[in-house]
Structure 1
Amino acid sequence: MKNHQFAIKPTSIKDEINELKMIHFLEPNDLNQQPRKLMLKLISRAFLEHQNAASNIKENIASLLATEDTNALEYLSKSNRPLNKIIFYNIALQLLRFKLTFDFKINQSQTFMKKSRLPIVNTSSDILSNQDVIKAWYLLLNTHTKFGQTYIDTIAAHGYYQQFNDLKKPLIFNGKTQPVFDTNQLIREVVYIEAPLDTDHDGKRDLLKADIVRPKESNQIKVPVLYTASPYNQGVNDQLSDQLTHQVNVKLKHKTPNHYQYQDIESHGNQSKNIPKPRKIKGESKYPTQSFSREMGYTLNNYFLSRGFAIVYAAGIGTKDSEGLRTTGDDLETISAKSIIEWLDNRRIAFTNKTDHIQVKAWWSNQHIAMTGRSYLGTLQTAVATTGVDGLKTCLSEAAISSWYDYYRDNGLVVAPGGFQGEDCDVLADETFSRFQKAGDYQHVKDQWKKQLDSITKHQDRLTGNYNQFWDARNYLKDVSHIKADIVMVHGLNDWNVKPRNVEHLWNALRNVPVQKKLFLHQGPHIYINNFQSLDFTDMMNLWLTNKLLDVDNDANQLIPDVTIQDNVKPQTWHTYQDWSNAKNALSLQIDNQFKLSDHQNGIKPMQFNDYLVPDIFNKYTKHYNKWYKDLMGNNDSPMSNNRLVFKTNPLKHDHYIDGKVHIKINAASSQNVGLLSFMLVDYGEATRLTHTPQLLSRNAIEAGYLWKRDDLKEFKLQKHPTPFKKITEGHINMQNRHNSYQVDELKPHQFYNVELDLQPTFYHLPAGRQLGLIVYASDMAMTIRGNQKIQYSIDPTKTIIHIPLWK
Structure 2
Amino acid sequence: MTYYLKAKTALVVTLMFSLFTIAQEKALPVFVNGEAQIVEAFSDASKYIRHDLWVETEFDTDGDGELDRMHVSVTRPDQTETENLKLPVIYITSPYFAGVAGDAPGTMWNVKHELGEIGEERFHPEVKRRGKRPIISNSHIRKWVPRGYIVVHSSSPGTGLSDGAPTIGGLNEELAPKAVIQWLTGKNKGFTERNGNEEVKAYWSTGKVGMTGTSYNGTLPLAAATTGVEGLEAIIPIAPNTSSYHYYRSNGLVRSPGGYLGEDIDVLYDFVHSGDEDKRAFNNKTVRDTELMNGMDRQTGDMNDFWYNRDYLPKMKNMNAALFMSHGFNDWNVMPEHSYRIYKKAKEMGLDTKIYYHQNGHGGPPPTSQMNKWFTKYLHGIDNGVENEENKAYIVREYDNRQEPTAYKDYPNPDAKDVTLNLTKGGNKAGGLTTSKGNKSKEKLTDDVSFTWKDLAKSETSQNRLLYVTAPLKEDLHISGVAKVTITLSSNKSAANLSTYLVSLPLKAGKNAKITENLITRSWADPKNYKSLTDEEDLKPGKFYTINFDLQPDDQIIKKGQQIGFMIFSSDPEFTLHPKAGTELNIKLDKTKLKLPVVGGKDAFEKAVN
Q: What is the TM-score with the length of structure 1 in the denominator? A: 0.65
Query: Whole-Å Cα distance in 1 between the matches of residues 474 and 453 of structure 2?
Result: 27
Partner of 2:354: 518
Partner of 2:316: 480
Aligned pair partner of 1:335 in 175, 197, 204:
175
Query: Whole-Å Cα distance in 2 between the matches of residues 239 and 166 of structure 1?
Result: 54
**Which sits farther off after the overlay, 448-457 or 541-550?**
448-457
2:497 maps to amino acid? L
Displacement, 1:529? 3.7
Displacement, 1:499? 0.3
Determine if contact 1:686/1:722 at 8 Å carries over to the other structure. no
Asked if residue 636 in structure 1 is aligned to residue 460 in structure 2, the reply is: yes
Identify unmatched segments of 5+ residues in structure 1: 1-163, 256-290, 436-440, 531-536, 622-627, 692-718
Displacement, 1:452? 1.8
Partner of 1:250: 113
Displacement, 1:297? 2.7
| Secondary structure of 1:335's aligned partner | helix
Asked if residue 580 in structure 1 is aligned to residue 411 in structure 2, the reply is: yes
Question: Once the two structures are superposed, what CA deviation does each residue of 1:645-675 show, in whole Å capped at 9, x if it has no partner?
Answer: 1111101223211111111111111011112
Query: Whole-Å Cα distance in 1 between the matches of residues 379 and 116 of structure 2?
Result: 52
Q: CA RMSD in A?
A: 2.6
Determine if contact 1:225/1:312 at 8 Å carries over to the other structure. yes
Aligned pair partner of 1:384 in 202, 224, 233:
224
Partner of 1:754: 546
Identify unmatched segments of 5+ residues in structure 2: 1-22, 119-131, 433-438, 605-610
Query: Whole-Å Cα distance in 2 between the matches of residues 464 and 653 of structure 1?
Result: 45
Aligned pair partner of 1:368 in 208, 214, 219:
208
Aligned pair partner of 2:32 in 147, 160, 173:
173
Query: Whole-Å Cα distance in 2 between the matches of residues 686 and 323 of structure 1?
Result: 51
Determine if contact 1:349/1:359 at 8 Å carries over to the other structure. yes
| Secondary structure of 1:355's aligned partner | coil
Aligned pair partner of 2:576 in 781, 784, 793:
784
Displacement, 1:239? 5.1
2:427 maps to amino acid? L
Displacement, 1:763? 0.8
Aligned pair partner of 1:350 in 166, 170, 190:
190
- Counting matched residue pairs gives 551
Determine if contact 1:684/1:724 at 8 Å carries over to the other structure. no
Determine if contact 2:359/2:516 at 8 Å carries over to the other structure. no
Partner of 2:51: 189
Query: Whole-Å Cα distance in 1 between the matches of residues 431 and 352 of structure 2?
Result: 52
| Secondary structure of 1:324's aligned partner | coil
Query: Whole-Å Cα distance in 2 between the matches of residues 412 and 647 of structure 1?
Result: 25
Matches within 5 A, 1:620-769: 628-636=452-460, 641-685=462-506, 719=512, 726-769=518-561
| Secondary structure of 1:597's aligned partner | coil
Partner of 2:123: none
Matches within 5 A, 1:476-515: 476-515=312-351
Determine if contact 1:222/1:364 at 8 Å carries over to the other structure. yes
Displacement, 1:450? 2.6
Partner of 1:4: none
Query: Whole-Å Cα distance in 1 between the matches of residues 280 and 136 of structure 2?
Result: 27
Q: Which runs of 4+ in 1 moved over 4 A?
A: 291-294, 569-573, 600-604, 686-689, 721-725
Aligned residues with identical type, % of pairs: 31
Greater strand content: 2
Asked if residue 421 in structure 1 is aligned to residue 261 in structure 2, the reply is: yes
Displacement, 1:301? 4.4
2:356 maps to amino acid? F
| Secondary structure of 2:50's aligned partner | strand
Determine if contact 1:581/1:660 at 8 Å carries over to the other structure. yes
Determine if contact 1:398/1:490 at 8 Å carries over to the other structure. yes
| Secondary structure of 1:434's aligned partner | coil
Partner of 1:13: none
Distance change >3 Å, CA 515–CA 307, structure 1 → 2:
same
2:357 maps to amino acid? L
Distance change >3 Å, CA 800–CA 338, structure 1 → 2:
same
Asked if residue 208 in structure 1 is aligned to residue 70 in structure 2, the reply is: yes
Determine if contact 1:338/1:384 at 8 Å carries over to the other structure. yes
Query: Whole-Å Cα distance in 2 between the matches of residues 525 and 662 of structure 1?
Result: 20
Determine if contact 1:737/1:743 at 8 Å carries over to the other structure. yes
Partner of 2:285: 450
Determine if contact 1:685/1:769 at 8 Å carries over to the other structure. no
Question: Once the two structures are superposed, what CA deviation does each residue of 1:201-233 show, in whole Å capped at 9, x if it has no partner?
Answer: 211100110111111112121111011111101
Determine if contact 2:56/2:68 at 8 Å carries over to the other structure. yes
Determine if contact 1:611/1:778 at 8 Å carries over to the other structure. yes
Aligned pair partner of 1:237 in 95, 101, 118:
101
Partner of 1:79: none
Determine if contact 2:484/2:594 at 8 Å carries over to the other structure. yes
Distance change >3 Å, CA 472–CA 582, structure 1 → 2:
farther
Matches within 5 A, 1:286-301: 295-298=136-139, 300-301=140-141
Instruction: Please say which structure displays the higher CA radius of gyration.
Output: 1
